[in-house]
Amino acid sequence: MDIQEIKDYLRIEHEEDDGMLTLLEKRAALYIQNGVGTVDTTNDLYKMAVTVLVGHWYDNRELSRIGNNSYNIPHSFEAIIQQLRYCYTKEAESQ
């Protein structure tokens, strides 16, 4: 996935965090693959899941947060993952 797509979604205009965003993107892709199985990396829902997860990890990268101990992954990410699971299950069944 193009790192610029992630930066555009997160409204990041500087290049200082490109290395971290690239690393987070690779980890998000692996996280999603472990949760869904084989994925089509060109699927727009997959790209959205990667972007949401990278954004979550990017925003919550500090070790502790005063006043909020919860770093739950957004519900939108879980909904997208469910759609990806359903999508790939249906494709596998039709083959």
CA atoms 16, 17, 19, 20: torsion sign: positive
pLDDT at 70 over 60: no
91 — pLDDT class (breaks 50, 70, 90): very low
CA gap 5, 12 in Å, rounded: 10
Determine contact, residues 84/49, Cβ cutoff 8 Å.
yes
CA gap 95, 91 in Å, rounded: 7
CA gap 11, 6 in Å, rounded: 8
CA gap 50, 35 in Å, rounded: 12
pLDDT at 90 over 70: no
For residue range 17-26, what is the model confidence (pLDDT) as tens digits?
A: 999 999 999 9
Q: What is the mean pLDDT of residues 56-61?
A: 87
Domain ranges of the chain: 3-94
88 — pLDDT class (breaks 50, 70, 90): low
pLDDT of residue 71: 65
11 — pLDDT class (breaks 50, 70, 90): very high
